[in-house]
């Protein structure tokens, strides 16, 4: 399988442990090139722990050409974990398209945006498409300088 898309909207019973199980399954898809995962619910139970597992999973998929991650209302995810996730991008040398969304989470900060942009620039020109969506983030004018 080369392409995988999951949208979990309004699924408030998905937890970090469920995300860990999902990631274990992804590790078996070594030829995966396109991954899209959307987790959006006002009562989200996804925390830093779940994103850490996703983080570790992504590093085992070096052939990814397209990665889309959307988190909505995930107040259990900290700015530090968002930065950790962006650190994994350096392992994705074939990445051509990247989309990251945090809607109504507030976790993205100037520092997180700086780190994310630094990682994106380290992809040495392979990136052809970029979409960043931060609705109700904690960024200022300072963060925009890094883009």
* 11-49 pLDDT, tens digit each: 888 889 998 999 998 888 889 999 999 988 766 788 889
Per-residue pLDDT, 37: 92
pLDDT band, very low/low/confident/very high, at 93 (cuts 50, 70, 90): confident
pTM: 0.86
Residue with tokens 């968002």: 82
pLDDT value of residue 124: 67
User: Residue 109: which residues within 8 A CB-CB, separation 6 or more?
Assistant: 79, 137, 138, 139, 143
Residues 39 and 77 sit within 8 Å (Cβ to Cβ): no
* DSSP SS3 for 115: helix
Task: Pick the range with the lowest mean pLDDT from 5-9, 61-65, 70-74, 130-134.
Answer: 70-74
pLDDT at 34: 97
Number of domain units in the chain: 1
Domain that holds residue 133: 3-144
- In whole numbers, what is the pLDDT of the chain averaged over residues? 84
Q: What is the DSSP string of 98-123?
A: EEEEEES----BHHHHHHHHHHHHTT
The Cα–Cα gap between 123 and 119 comes to: 7
The residue-averaged pLDDT of 78-101 equals 82
For residue 13, give the CATH number of its domain: 3.80.10.10
């Amino acid at each position: 399988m080369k392409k995988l898309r999951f949208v979990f909207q309004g699924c408030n019973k998905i937890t970090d442990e469920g995300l860990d199980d999902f990631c274990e399954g992804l590790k078996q898809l070594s030829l995966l090139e396109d991954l899209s995962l959307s987790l959006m619910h006002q009562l989200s139970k996804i925390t830093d722990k779940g994103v850490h597992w996703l983080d570790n999973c992504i590093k085992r998929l070096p052939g990814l050409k397209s990665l889309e991650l959307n988190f909505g209302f995930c107040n259990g995810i900290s700015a530090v974990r968002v930065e950790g996730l962006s650190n994994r991008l350096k392992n994705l040398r074939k990445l051509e398209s990247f989309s990251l969304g945090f809607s109504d989470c507030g976790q993205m900060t100037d520092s997180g945006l700086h780190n994310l942009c630094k990682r994106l620039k380290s992809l040495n020109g392979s990136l052809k498409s970029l979409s960043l969506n931060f609705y109700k983030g904690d960024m200022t004018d300072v963060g925009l300088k890094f883009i």
